[in-house]
């Protein structure tokens, strides 16, 4: 892998890098095009728009018809918010829901990184929508693009467990620390020179970490080679899929809950490309431990190492996981220590994480109040004929103004609930047909799918739209075998990019060709082992028939309490494939 420092004059910049440099810190050509009365942006502007939190999309269902009529695509913008640790104040939720109704497609979507996405905003409405979000203390800044994305943390609002509080606090601190410093976002959308960008003490000059760049001392004018993702968790909760992150921090406390520091993991990532063997998902590896006082420096050092040594020539090889993989963790650690000007301490031993947690249903917060976790199918908040989820959430928001925690499983938690409100809230949900978690099988509670068609420009197959049917069929089969109460993590994506983290599912379906899916099995239910491909091309109408012998084998041969993912890993792919073949031959 070639390591290209951002300012190396000898190397001709690929287009994706040149666009960033030419943008004058994320301004042009976006600023010019944003005020033009057009339906969409040019390609370079689209790349810069991402750093402002928006993707240009078009309705792929209508592409062909419009092309036949000689018309242009039906363009609209998707906006993504930044919610460190998934925290959403009640007023911001109200604003986002109203904006989605007025300017979007009427839905909000809870993402797998604990943010909201709003789809279907017309180009001309972008300034109004972004202004309103910022006015209500929200932001879309740097939620997309080659920069640090939303920082995740476990959503459970356990007020009596200090480790959870530390994780949430540091999610916010790291989010602020790694924001871009350019004023372009505010110039373009807010027209307000008064907005203050926090200058953190940690951003004072640190040798090696900071560039000689007056605007972006950490990122420079070329930003990162690729997207960058961080999460913070606590030792007994891997709801954030910590091993899938570029940087994963695990809170370490003393016996009284005082923060000592963080175990640091680096180099995780899911994305891959079909038939490109040099791309693959990777789990993050232990880097070491840093005391709390040093963590900001170490995090910036890691990011700066990726900034300077990540691959800027080939975007498919540009994620930090490939740098860690190519160098090996020892060299990576050495270089990080060199940048940080300090040695990392040894990793604090922690037990393995427990299996896939969710925080659904009514639970005590530990401070006399309750929280309520609601399962949201694919994170999509909308009303249907049978379930008026959007209306129910609006009513709860209006009547009780409850803060929200978004979950990495695309679910949502209402927090700080006075126990006296419980029956009224339950009543609102029931009268609007919103299923309470107890009504849902463990399989439905844990499942997730990415948006794919019709909005995602990269989708090869359907995902969100077909997932309810797929899940129902898998669930029926699972139930027929008497496995109703056994949890199973099922995730689906419309392409190999891995947005719903399917390579960490016990059963992962990954769009491979139109109408066909790879089937991945064998990930550990606690998220510390990747799945493997069982079948390369499976049409959906053959899925349950193909799975039946595998599920039956599991039912018959599993050890007591053994989960499907662990079983598949133990028996191995060849035996699973044999079972499937034997069953086909017997037909
Ligand atoms: Fe993702 C690109 C949706 C989490 C890996 N992802 C996209 C885009 C923006 C398509 C595009 O580039 O044009 C999708 C927009 C679809 C739409 O219509 O809304 C998209 N990704 C999503 C969301 C909404 C999926 C969801 O069901 O919630 C998630 C938004 C997270 C957020 O709030 O920031 C989302 N994406 C992820 C994750 C999971 C995670 O971060 O924990 C991954 C795998 C982890 C990782 O990054 O390795 C992920 N998305 C990708 C990739 C592949 C990156 C790679 O390293 O190869 C792409 C494509 C790319 O970057 O080139 C991508
Ligand atoms: Fe789109 Fe692929 Fe991500 Fe699904 S996994 S949202 S199809 S990029």
- Strand 370-374 to 404-406 pairing: unpaired
Buried b (16+ CB within 10 A) or exposed e, 158-171: bbebbbbbbbbbbb
C-alpha angle with apex 392: 390 to 396, nearest 5 degrees?
A: 120
Q: Nearest-CA neighbor of 177 among 139, 144, 204? A: 204
pLDDT attached to residue 11? 65
Name the band, by pLDDT with cuts 50, 70 and 90, for residue 1. Answer: very low
Q: Which ligand is nearest to the Cα of residue 276, counting in written order? A: 1
Average pLDDT of the residues in 52-71: 97
Query: Between 297 and 357, whose confidence is greater?
Result: 297
Q: What is the pLDDT of residue 179?
A: 96
**pTM, whole model, 2 decimals?**
0.96
Ligand 1 atom nearest to CA at 449: 27
Residue 581: band (very low, low, confident or very high) from pLDDT cuts 50, 70, 90:
confident
Q: Which two tokens stand for residue 482?
A: 């008497």
For the segment 145-199, what is each residue's pLDDT rounded down to a tens digit? 999 999 999 999 999 999 999 999 999 999 999 999 999 999 999 876 666 666 6
Ligand 1 geometric centre to CA of 458 (Å): 10
Where residue 13 falls among pLDDT bands split at 50, 70, 90?
Answer: confident
Q: Which residue carries 């038939």 as its tokens?
A: 275
Tell me if 458 CB under 6 Å of ligand 2.
yes
Ligand 1 neighbours (beta carbon < 6 A): 55, 57, 78, 80, 111-113, 115, 117, 143, 149-150, 227, 229, 244, 269-271, 319, 379, 410, 450-451, 455-458, 497-501
Q: What would the DSSP string read from start to end of 377-425?
A: GGGEE-B-SS-BHHHHHHHHHHHH---EEE-TTS-EEEEEE-GGGHHHH
C-alpha–C-alpha distance, residues 405 and 402, integer Å: 10
Indicate the SS3 state at residue 46: helix
Report the nearest atom of ligand 2 relative to the CA of 456: 1
203 has a pLDDT exceeding 70: no
User: Mean pLDDT across the stretch 474-500?
Assistant: 97
Pocket test for ligand 2, best of 452, 500, 510 (most atoms within 8 A of CB): 452
For residue 4, the model assigns a pLDDT of: 40
Mean pLDDT of the chain: 95
- Indicate the top mutation candidate among 497, 500, 501, 508 to test ligand 1's pocket, ranked by most ligand atoms within 8 A of CB: 497
Segment 76-102 shows an average pLDDT of 98
Percent of the chain with pLDDT strictly greater than 70: 95
Q: Given a cut of 80, is residue 253 above it in pLDDT?
A: yes
57 CB near ligand 2 (under 6 Å): no
pLDDT, residue 529, reads 98
- What is the reported pLDDT for 5? 47
Return the number of other C-beta atoms located less than 10 Å from residue 552's C-beta: 15
* pLDDT score of 119: 98
Lowest mean pLDDT among 74-78, 135-139, 385-389, 555-559: 135-139
Ligand 2 centroid to residue 497 C-alpha, Å: 6
Predicted confidence (pLDDT) per residue in 296-331, tens digit: 999 999 999 999 999 999 999 999 999 999 999 999
pLDDT at 583: 75
pLDDT of residue 358: 81
Q: What is the average pLDDT across 95-117?
A: 98
- Pocket test residue of 244, 463, 501 for ligand 2, highest count of atoms within 8 A of CB: 463
User: Residue 452: nearest ligand to its CA?
Assistant: 2
**CB-based contact 84:149 (threshold 8 Å):** no
Q: Please say if the pLDDT value at position 3 is more than 50.
A: no
DSSP 8-state secondary structure symbol assigned to residue 247 = E
How far apart are the CA of 13 and the centre of ligand 2, in A? Answer: 27
| pLDDT, position 204 | 61
- The per-residue pLDDT for range 512-540, each reduced to its tens digit, is 999 999 999 999 999 999 999 999 999 99
Say which ligand is closest to the CA of 109: 1
118 sits in the region (left: phi over 0; alpha: psi -120 to 50; else beta) called beta
Q: Is the predicted pLDDT of residue 235 greater than 60, yes or no?
A: yes
């Amino acid at each position: 892998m070639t390591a290209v420092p951002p300012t190396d004059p000898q190397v001709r910049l690929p287009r994706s890098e040149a666009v960033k440099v030419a943008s004058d810190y994320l301004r042009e050509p976006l600023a010019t095009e944003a005020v033009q009365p057009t339906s969409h942006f040019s390609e370079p502007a689209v790349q810069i728009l991402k750093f402002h939190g928006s993707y240009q999309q078009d309705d792929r269902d209508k592409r062909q018809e419009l092309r036949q009529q000689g018309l242009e695509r039906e363009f609209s913008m998707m906006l993504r918010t930044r919610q460190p640790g998934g925290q959403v104040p009640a007023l911001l939720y109200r604003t986002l829901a109203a904006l989605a109704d007025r300017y979007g497609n009427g839905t909000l979507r809870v993402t797998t990184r604990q943010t909201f996405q709003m789809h279907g905003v017309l180009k001309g409405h972008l300034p109004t929508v972004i202004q309103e979000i910022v006015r209500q203390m929200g932001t879309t800044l740097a939620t997309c693009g080659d920069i640090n994305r939303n920082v995740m943390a476990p959503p459970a609002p356990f007020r009596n467990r200090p480790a959870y509080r530390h994780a949430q606090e540091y999610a916010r601190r790291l989010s602020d620390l790694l924001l871009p410093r350019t004023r372009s976002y505010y110039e373009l959308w807010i027209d307000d020179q008064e907005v203050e960008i926090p200058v953190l003490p940690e951003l004072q000059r640190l040798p090696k970490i900071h560039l000689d760049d007056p605007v972006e001392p950490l990122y420079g004018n070329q930003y990162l080679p690729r997207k960058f993702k961080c999460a913070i968790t606590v030792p007994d909760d891997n709801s954030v899929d910590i091993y899938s992150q570029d940087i994963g921090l695990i809170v370490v406390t003393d016996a009284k809950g005082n923060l000592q520091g963080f175990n640091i993991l680096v180099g995780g990532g899911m994305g891959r490309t079909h038939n490109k063997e040099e791309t693959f998902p990777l789990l993050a590896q232990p880097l070491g431990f840093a005391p709390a006082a040093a963590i900001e420096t170490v995090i910036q050092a890691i990011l700066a190492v990726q900034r300077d040594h990540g691959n800027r020539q080939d975007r498919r090889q540009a994620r930090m996981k490939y740098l860690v993989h190519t160098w090996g963790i020892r060299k990576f650690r050495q270089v990080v220590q060199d940048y940080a000007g300090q040695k990392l301490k040894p990793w604090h031993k922690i037990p393995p994480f427990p299996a896939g947690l969710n925080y659904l249903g009514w639970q005590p917060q530990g401070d006399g109040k309750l929280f309520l976790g609601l399962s949201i199918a694919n994170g999509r908040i909308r009303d249907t004929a049978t379930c008026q989820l959007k209306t129910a959430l609006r009513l709860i928001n209006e009547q009780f103004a409850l803060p929200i925690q978004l979950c990495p499983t695309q679910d949502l938690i209402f927090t700080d609930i006075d126990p006296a409100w419980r029956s009224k809230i339950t009543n609102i949900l029931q009268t609007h047909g919103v299923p309470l978690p107890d009504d849902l099988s463990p399989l439905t509670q844990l499942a997730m799918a990415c948006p794919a068609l019709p909005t995602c420009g990269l989708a090869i197959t359907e995902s969100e739209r077909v997932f309810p049917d797929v899940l129902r069929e898998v669930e029926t089969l699972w139930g027929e075998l008497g496995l109703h109460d056994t949890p199973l993590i099922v995730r689906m994506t419309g392409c190999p990019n891995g947005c719903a983290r399917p390579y960490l599912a016990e059963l992962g379906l990954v769009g491979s060709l139109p109408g066909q899916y790879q089937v991945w099995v064998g990930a550990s239910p606690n998220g510390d082992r990747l799945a493997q491909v069982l079948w390369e091309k499976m049409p959906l109408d053959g899925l349950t028939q193909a799975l039946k012998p595998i599920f039956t084998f599991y039912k018959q041969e599993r050890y007591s309490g053994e989960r499907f993912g662990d079983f598949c890993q133990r028996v191995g792919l060849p035996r699973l494939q044999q079972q499937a073949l034997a069953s086909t031959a017997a037909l």
